[in-house]
Amino acid sequence: MNRIDFIKKSSIAGAGGLFLPSLSGYSKTKSLNDISPNSQINIGAIGINGMGWANTLAALKIPGVNLVAICDVDQNVISKRLNEKEVITIKDKIRVYSDYRELLEQKDIDAVYIGTPDHWHALMMIHASEAGKDIYIEKPVGNSIVECQTMTATQKYHGNIVQAGQWQRSHKHFQDAVSFVHSGQLGPIRTVKVWCYQGWMKPQPVVANSAPPKGVDYASWLGPAPTLPFNSSRFHFHFRWFWDYAGGLMTDWGVHLLDYALLGMKASLPKTIVGLGGKYAYPDLSQETPDTLTTLYEFDGFNLVWDSAMGIDNGSYGRNHGIAFIGNNGTLVLDRNGWEVIEERRSKVNVLKPLQKKSDNGHANHQLNFMNAIRENKPELLTCNIQDAAHVAKVAQMGNISYKANQKLIWEGSKDRFTDSKINKKHLSKEYHNGYKLPSIG
């Protein structure tokens, strides 16, 4: 049943609901005083230290969205957030939790925002679905291929609205660039290059284990991950560089950038994968994931190359990140600042296009898209549903698995697994610890 009884006029640009609904209408023009009680959306936020909080604040700018609960295992983070200017006037109305399962029991919550480390995403999304909540979940949606498969099965079973935090799907210039690729003007595309050079993302120094900071429920932070002593080089933002919790730049930025590479090529899953790299630049720092990684994906008719590096910004085409669709007539280069087409020197077709700069706020658009889908109770309106997000997360996981296994892998699409049974047994899923289990769905 649709618990919110109004319809906002909306249109989708692009097939299958992949692209941005019209932003004109109810959510952009109505004031808070005009919103009926049945149109209010109450949200709860789980994991509020980084993007989880940025997403929450962006949602609160939409009329009729109310923050009624927050949850974090770090009481220091909770105290900090409750005293920020955006919520300090309403903090007495916000219920506070350290256990997300208790937040999910709060009946007046319509939707939850999940912004925890990656190794918690699957369990929290599944439990929130079971509790009847709609969900905005940070990327990458799953920390293993099996988690991705289970999460899509969960949404299909419960039928709730699940938006993933790949907000570039709600950025107009990204959509425009893909439309240009689909127009065929670039000619046959034989290679797509995706790169991510992040100078500000540098591994932490190796430090000794220590007691967790006061106010941190470290056991709950670990959750299904192996029990290890607390170490500050693994905590908060830096969880990204350790296999127990995440997958390095490949899954952190890769799901944003590989996503548009796949959309541009209308591609499914690769046939073969080869990942090569290592701790080349910072061998003595604390990370486990590679600081340098090159991965080659073979698809029917083209190759996709992933290239990432930590600690430096000098990427291809003078950009620290981007996607390049290399065609016979020209190359389209796309990043968060805009897109352009560089004409092939021998091209007989005029495809030269100067830089088309970004013109909107994709992150804000993405939150509005989520709320509109909830208000209409139409998952098909989402610009990045769980199925789309799981698709690209699986591709990113494949690259990491090839790197860790140090071998070329062949994907058996009809069976949704690799052809190598030893690789499947070791790498398709993550072992859960501390009494946690990944639920079976259905």
User: The CATH number of the domain where 351 resides is what?
Assistant: 3.30.360.10
DSSP 92-106: GG-EEESSHHHHHT-
In a domain, 2, yes or no: no
In a domain, 112, yes or no: yes
What tens digit of pLDDT does each residue of 289-331 get? 999 999 999 999 999 999 999 999 999 999 999 999 999 999 9
| Range(s) of the domain holding residue 26 | 15-169+362-386
Whether residue 322 is found in the same domain as residue 200 = yes
In a domain, 434, yes or no: no
DSSP three-state, residue 29: helix
In a domain, 37, yes or no: yes
- Residue 47 CB contacts under 8 Å (≥ 6 apart), including other chains: 71, 72, 114, 115, 116, 117, 120, 138
Dist. CA 272–CA 287, nearest whole Å: 27
User: The CATH number of the domain where 148 resides is what?
Assistant: 3.40.50.720
In the chain, the number of structural domains is: 2
- The pLDDT value recorded for residue 8 is 31
Does pLDDT of 5 surpass 80? no
Residue whose entry in the numeric block shows the structure tokens 């929130």: 128
Does pLDDT of 134 surpass 60? yes
Whether residue 287 is found in the same domain as residue 418 = yes
Cβ atoms of residues 151 and 390 within 8 Å:
yes
Whether residue 310 is found in the same domain as residue 278 = yes
What tens digit of pLDDT does each residue of 259-288 get? 999 999 999 999 999 999 999 999 999 999
Whether residue 92 is found in the same domain as residue 177 = no
Whether residue 137 is found in the same domain as residue 252 = no
Phi then psi for residue 46, to 5 deg, are -115, 115
Q: Label residues 91-102 b or e (16+ Cβ within 10 Å = b).
A: eeebeebbebee
In a domain, 281, yes or no: yes
Dist. CA 80–CA 84, nearest whole Å: 7
In a domain, 440, yes or no: no
Whether residue 159 is found in the same domain as residue 289 = no
- The pLDDT value recorded for residue 10 is 28
What are the tokens at 213? 């900071």
What tens digit of pLDDT does each residue of 212-252 get? 999 999 999 999 999 999 999 999 999 999 999 999 999 99
Whether residue 143 is found in the same domain as residue 227 = no
Whether residue 143 is found in the same domain as residue 53 = yes
DSSP three-state, residue 441: coil
What are the tokens at 377? 């109770």
Whether residue 74 is found in the same domain as residue 183 = no
CA dihedral 30, 35, 38, 40 (to 10 degrees): 80
In a domain, 150, yes or no: yes
Output DSSP code: residue 283: T
Mean of pLDDT values over 345-357: 90
Whether residue 340 is found in the same domain as residue 215 = yes
Whether residue 176 is found in the same domain as residue 289 = yes
In a domain, 277, yes or no: yes
- The pLDDT value recorded for residue 39 is 82
- Chain-centre distance for alpha carbon 144: 14
DSSP three-state, residue 419: coil
Q: Which of 387, 238, 429, 397 is nearest to 306 (CA)?
A: 397
Whether residue 157 is found in the same domain as residue 237 = no
**How far lies 73's CA from each of 47, 96, 99, 140, in Å?**
8, 11, 7, 21
